[in-house]
Amino acid sequence: MTPSVSVSPRDIITVDVEEWFHGHNYLDHMPPEVWDDQELRVEKGMSLCLDMLDRFGVKATFFVLGWTAERHPGVVREIARRGHEIGCHSYGHPEVFKLTRDQFRADCERALEALAAAGVDNPAGYRAPSFSITPSVHGYLEVLRECGFRYDCSIFPIHHPRYGQPDSPRRPFRLDGPGNPFTVVPMPTWRFLGVNVPFSGGGYLRLLPWPAFRFLRDRAHGQGLPCLIYMHPWEMDDFRPRVGQSSVTSLRSQGGQATMPAKIEKILAIGEFETLGQYVGRLEESGQLPFQVLNS
Ligand SMILES: [Zn+2]
């Protein structure tokens, strides 16, 4: 078990900047060859998202997809102009556990080139699509360190049919081994009766009633973890694509979408916020981060 670090937990908003069809629930119907034929909605969703954050004076962390940065460099510049942190969400939204180490490195390098072309040099943070740095590829965290990143937020220690890894660390740690300092921040959970309960983003946040979210957020804080929200611009949008999904897949990709803007507003109203990069900075300054290596 990773020891606790006594850094007071706060609230953090993270946004994965991508199109509605990039979610892996759409992959069967929306392979990369057809992406450029789809209606692009990211500008609308991002405008709603950025305006809401401005209303509450909150700075967030935006993990931008390289594919999207190439098509919408103005969106990337606008995120920076409004004073938010910009990180990397891969280039082509792959499930990382399906890539070889060299393919993963190539995707990272292409993403960094796309971000640099949009004016973002040397982003500190990385988040894998669908939290897909699973145990079989935990060793790829070294690739991120070699690519110059300072922290990762791709590990989700829960049961899930695609990216589940309930035995992975729940608490932040410093990646052991040679190279630059590199911190890993897992997604927060509430540990209850031996089970890690997720609550802070995507379908979990969309489908949870507000009192249940509030309960879980306060419990996670009580266990020393930040409430690290993850969301997407399409969750702020009223666009509802019809792409012939099963009802279960449709629930995962769109269920509760209409509740999301109001929930985010409520979170912005009650929280005490910092960016993910600021949280990593506080962790590092504490001098208490345990060193750990994840075997793969
Ligand atoms: Zn994504």
Letter for the amino acid at 10? R
Distance 228 CA to ligand 1 centre (A): 16
| pLDDT value of position 293 | 84
Residue 5: inside a domain: no
Residue 82: inside a domain: yes
Residue 1: inside a domain: no
Contacts 24+ apart (CB under 8 A), 143-146: 143/101, 143/104, 143/105, 143/108, 144/108, 144/182, 145/175, 145/179, 145/180, 145/182, 146/105, 146/179
| pLDDT value of position 252 | 63
Distance 270 CA to ligand 1 centre (A): 26
3-state SS, residue 12: strand
Distance 21 CA to ligand 1 centre (A): 10
Which DSSP string corresponds to 172-233?
A: -EEEPSSSS--EE-PPP-EEETTEEE--SBHHHHHHS-HHHHHHHHHHHHHTT--EEEEE-G
Q: How far is 153 from 150, CA to CA, in rounded Å? A: 11
Distance 151 CA to ligand 1 centre (A): 17
Residue 113: inside a domain: yes
Distance 294 CA to ligand 1 centre (A): 23
Residue 125's domain is classified under what CATH number?
3.20.20.370
Q: How far is 103 from 280, CA to CA, in rounded Å? A: 28
Distance 63 CA to ligand 1 centre (A): 9
Residues with CB under 5 A from ligand 1 (ion): 16, 18, 129
3-state SS, residue 63: strand
Distance 229 CA to ligand 1 centre (A): 14
pTM as predicted: 0.94
Residue 100: inside a domain: yes
Distance 215 CA to ligand 1 centre (A): 26
Distance 19 CA to ligand 1 centre (A): 9
If one counts every other C-beta atom within 10 angstroms of the C-beta of residue 269, the result is: 9
Residue 78: inside a domain: yes
Distance 199 CA to ligand 1 centre (A): 17
Query: What backbone phi and psi angles, to 5 degrees, belong to 79?
Result: -60, -45
Residue 257: inside a domain: yes
Residue 150: inside a domain: yes
**74 close to 82: Cβ distance less than 8 angstroms:** no
pLDDT tens digits for range 6-38: 788 999 999 999 999 998 888 778 899 999 999
The tally of domains found in the chain comes to 1
Distance 95 CA to ligand 1 centre (A): 10
Range of the domain at 281: 13-292
| pLDDT value of position 253 | 63
Which residues of the chain fall below pLDDT 50?
Answer: none
Distance 90 CA to ligand 1 centre (A): 9
Distance 108 CA to ligand 1 centre (A): 14
Paired tokens of 37: 């034929």
| pLDDT value of position 246 | 65
Distance 254 CA to ligand 1 centre (A): 14
